[in-house]
Amino acid sequence: MQTSLNIMREIVFDTETTGLDPLQGHRLVEIGCIELLNRIPTGNNFHRYLNPERDMPSEAFAVHGLSADFLKSHPLFAAVADEFIDFIGDAPLIAHNAFFDLGFINAELNRLQRQLIGRERIVDTLLLARRKHPGGQNKLDDLCARYRIDNSRRTKHGALLDAELLAEVYIELIGARQALLGLTNVSVAAANASRQAVLRPRPDPLQPRMTDEDRAAHRAFVATLGETAVWRKYLTVE
């Protein structure tokens, strides 16, 4: 979303599910979203665990560690749908293997007879990575290793943590890291320029480092430059 103040808002998101296919009855169990403004995380996040109203297959539990017993005390997607839709607004949505996540979110929205999220809003970082690193390993852990992003906390998949890591990966993939550093430097310089300097006299003045011999040598050099030399304007009168 582009505002009148030229601020770009983007949402990096990830999901966890009970399986691989919403058409086979699998459901969302976690959503994590990170807000970016001009490619900088704002700290404004959306994170919810969800009750899938079904069992948790062992294969899915091995991936994210979310059990049916843990999830049954959390809200249904219907209870958080409005909050989720308000949070993402009309911003571009960034995810890794994004159409997998989008398929599950749209399946939940469809159950509620709510408007689906259009594919045109999606930025798939897996596709970006394949274009930038053809033939390379482009899983999230592989990209973290490539860009030296610390993912040591990622012992299992988790929607919010994975979205946080992906936000860093996304900035690297699109080459925005240097631009952000430049923006930070400009902002710091502007902030410093707005501060009023406080000048305090030294209690003991510095001793002059130029000797009489230095001054004489400088005058002799300037004399060789001719009568119109600009340096003559800075010579003190004897």
Domain ranges of the chain: 9-190
Domain 9-190: which CATH number of 3.40.50.2300, 3.40.50.300, 3.40.50.720, 3.30.420.10: 3.30.420.10
Give 77-127 pLDDT, tens digit per residue.
999 999 999 999 999 999 999 999 999 999 999 999 999 999 999 999 999
Question: For residue 208, what is the DSSP state?
Answer: P
Q: Compute CA distances 55 → 58, 59, 63, 72, 108, whole Å.
A: 9, 12, 15, 10, 17
93-95/40-49 β-pairing: unpaired
Tokens linked to 60: 């899915």
Question: For residue 75, what is the DSSP state?
Answer: P
Report pTM. Answer: 0.72
pLDDT above 90: residue 219: no
Nearest to 166 by CA among 90, 94, 64: 94
φ, ψ for residue 78 (rounded to 5)? -55, -30
pLDDT (mean) for 165-173: 97
pLDDT (mean) for 193-198: 44
Beta bridge partners of 124: 95
Quote the pLDDT of residue 66. Answer: 97
Q: Which amino acid is at 11?
A: I
Q: How far apart are CA 174 and CA 129, in angstroms?
A: 9
Quote the pLDDT of residue 78. Answer: 98
Q: Compute CA distances 85 → 33, 50, 61, 177, 183, whole Å.
A: 11, 15, 27, 29, 31
**Catalytic pick among 26, 64, 96, 157:** 157
State the first-to-last Cα distance of the chain, in angstroms, to the nearest integer: 69
Give 18-63 pLDDT, tens digit per residue.
999 999 999 999 999 999 999 999 999 999 999 999 999 999 999 9
Q: Which amino acid is at 141?
A: D
Quote the pLDDT of residue 156. Answer: 87
Annotated active-site residue 26? The verdict is no
